[in-house]
Structure 1
C-alpha cells in the first residue's frame, strides 16, 4: 500500500465527518473510481447541525441554499499545482428521507456517465505525484485554473451540491493517476490522524 499523504483540513469552521476510512475501507463501500480512502466533510452550524429535518424534507427534495454550509469556502489542503478545475455542473436539490431513496436508484446511471457525473464541480491538485481531488463544489465558485500553483489555505472554490451528492458537502480523495478510472487510491491523514465518522472538526484557520 502507498504511504499516506498528510493534509490540512480544506476549510475553516465546523464540519461533520462522514464516510471516513478511519471507520472502514473502502470508506464509501466501493473501490470504484479510486474512492477506497475518500472522506466526506459536511458543513454544520454552531450547534453541529445541518438543515433542520421537517416533514417536507422527508418527502420532497430541498433547495441546497437551505443548508448552512452551502457556499462555504473550500481551501487547498496541500501545496501543489492545479491539474484540473471543472466548474460547469449545476447544483441540484438535496435529498433526504424518501427522496434520498429515489436518488440512490439513479446512482448507477451517474457512475456509468463517468468521473465528472460523480464528482460534479471539482479541483485536482497535484503534489509529489499524488493528486488530491475536492469534489461537489458550487457552480461558478472555482477560483483557480489549470497550471496554477496553490499553497495550503488558498481558496479553491465553495461548498456545493453538484455531482453525486445528497446534500452540500466536500468529498476529498487522493489518487495516483489523473485518469481516475485507472487510478489507485492513496491513504490520507489530516495533521497526522484520521477523524472518525460523526466527529465535528473545527479548523478556525488554515494550517
Structure 2
C-alpha cells in the first residue's frame, strides 16, 4: 500500500525477507475471459509480463529432455489458479509457481516452460531461461537462484508468472509447467484456468487525472507482496491499485507536508457494485506525508491499523472489495448496510500505512485485507490517455499503465 517512493524495497528478491520478518517490517509491506470484445489498441506490458505464442499455430512440445527416474523430488505447485482478464488490449494470466526441493541435494533450475494442455497435447506458450527466468524467481528466506546458485535441498522459491495473449489468440483452459534441471525435467500437475469469474465493476473513483499506480508490474510492491497472514502465505494485493491524481505531471501542488496539497486528497470514493458493507472503520488520523526527511505514521502500525480508515464490501460469490487509507471522519457507511453501485462511501485520505494520499483498492477472497488472495477485476468503462496525448475508450478491462485515466 505504500506509494511509489518506496518501490525500491519491493523487488521480487526482497519479498521472502519481509515474509520472515514479522510485524517489525509491516511498514515496508504496504508502501475467465471477459465477454466484451477487446480494444484493438494495446498498451505496454507491465514489467515481468511476456506475450505467449498462439497455441493454434505451434506444434506439440517435443520430448526434449528425458524425464528422470525416479522422478525429481521437486514439488511444482500453483497456490491460486489464474483467471484470464483483459487489460490494455491483451488478455492476461497472472499467477505464481511454488517450487520446493524435497531431495537431499541441490537442484540447478535452468528453465521453465509454460505449457498449454490442449487436444491431449502439450504446446509451449512460453519458455523462460537465463535472466528472463531468474528475474522472476524469489527464494523463500532470501538469496537468489541463477546459473551459479542452485535451489538447495529443503528450500523453496516462488516464480512470478505473467503471460499475455494477443487479442485474437486463444487462451488455454489448462496449463502445465515443465521445470528444466540441467538435462532432466520435472513436470507439474495440470492447472485449470478460470476458477474465479472476473467481476466487471464501476470505478471506485470518478473524474479525470487518475493514475492506476503499482498494478501488476513485478518491480512494484503489490504484485510480489507475498505475506503470511492467518497462517497462510498469500498475495492479497496481487491486483491491487493505488489510485492517485496527477495534474500537469505533478501529484501535489504546495506544501509537501500538507495532505491537502495532494490532488487525490479528499476526493470521494464510490461503491463499485451493489453490495453489503462488512467492515467500516473511521477515526484514525492522517499521516504527515513522506518526504526525503523520512516518514513516521501517526499511529503505531499493526494488523488492525495497517489499512487505516477503511470500507470493505461483500460483492457476493466469495469476492470482497477493499478501500483503504480513507480520510478521517469521512466514512459514511457502516457494517451491515446495503449500498448501491455508485453510492459515496468516504473520501481519500492518508491514514494507516500510507505515505502519500491515495486510495488503495483491491478485490480479494476475504474480508481481511491481508488474510486473503487477490483476484482480478475489470472496470466497466474508462478513457485512457496515450503517449501522444490522445484518448482511447476502454471497456471491461483492468486499468494498466502510468498514463492518465478518466471516468
Asked whether the two chains share a fold, i.e. TM above 0.5, the reply is: yes
Q: Is the 8 A contact 2:376 2:398 kept in 1?
A: no
Q: Which residue of 2 aligns with 1:134?
A: 323
1:66 to 261, 272, 275: 261
Quote the Cα distance in structure 2 between the aligned partners of 1:65 and 1:200.
21
Partner of 1:103: 295
Give 1:182 deviation, angstroms.
3.2
- Which 4+ residue blocks in structure 1 deviate beyond 6 angstroms? none
* Cα 1:181–1:66 shift into 2, 3 Å: closer
Deviation at 1:183, TM superposition (A): 1.5
Aligned to 1:171: 360
Cα distance in 2, alignment partners of residues 171 and 77 from structure 1: 14
In 1, Cα distance between equivalents of 2:221 and 2:289? 24
Q: How does 1:47-62 map to 2 (within 5 A)?
A: 47=248, 49-52=250-253, 57=256, 62=257
Give, in angstroms, the shift of residue 20 of structure 1: 1.1
Does structure 1 residue 88 correspond to structure 2 residue 88? no
Contact kept? 1:43, 1:168, Cα under 8 Å: no
For residues 288 and 223 of structure 2, the distance between their equivalents in structure 1, rounded to whole angstroms, comes to: 21
Bigger relative contact order, structure 1 or 2 (CA pairs below 8 A, ≥6 apart): 1
Match among 221, 246, 249 for residue 44 of structure 1: 246
Q: In the aligned structure 1, how far is the partner of 2:253 from the partner of 2:223?
A: 25
CA contact (8 A) 2:322 2:369 kept: no
Q: Which structure has the larger Rg? A: 2
Name the SS of the counterpart of 2:250 in structure 1. coil
Q: Offset of 1:44 from its aligned partner?
A: 3.4
C-alpha RMSD of matched pairs (Å): 2.3
CA distance in 2, matches of 1:149, 1:196: 30
Q: Tell me, yes or no, if the aligned pair for 2:288 and 2:295 is still in contact at 8 Å.
A: no
User: For 1:143, what is the secondary structure of its paired residue?
Assistant: coil
Question: Greater strand percent: which structure?
Answer: 2
Q: CA deviation at 1:198?
A: 1.0
TM-score (norm 1): 0.80
- For residues 149 and 44 of structure 1, what CA distance do their matches in structure 2 show? 33
Q: Aligned-pair distance for 1:68?
A: 2.2
Aligned residues: 186
> Could you tell me the TM-score, scaled by structure 2's length?
0.42
Partner of residue 335, structure 2: 146
> Which consecutive residues of structure 1, in runs of 5 or more, have no partner in the other structure?
none
Bigger fraction of residues in helix: 1
Residues 40 and 180 (structure 1 numbering): CA distance in 2 closer, same or farther, change over 3 Å? closer
Q: Distance in 2 between matches of 1:165 and 1:29?
A: 18
Structure 2 residues not aligned, in runs of 5+: 1-80, 82-195, 230-235, 381-395
345, 350, 357: which is aligned to 1:156? 345
1:30 equivalenced with 2:225 (yes/no): yes
Q: Tell me, in whole angstroms, the C-alpha distance in 2 between the residues paired with 1:148 and 1:44.
A: 33
CA contact (8 A) 2:314 2:367 kept: no
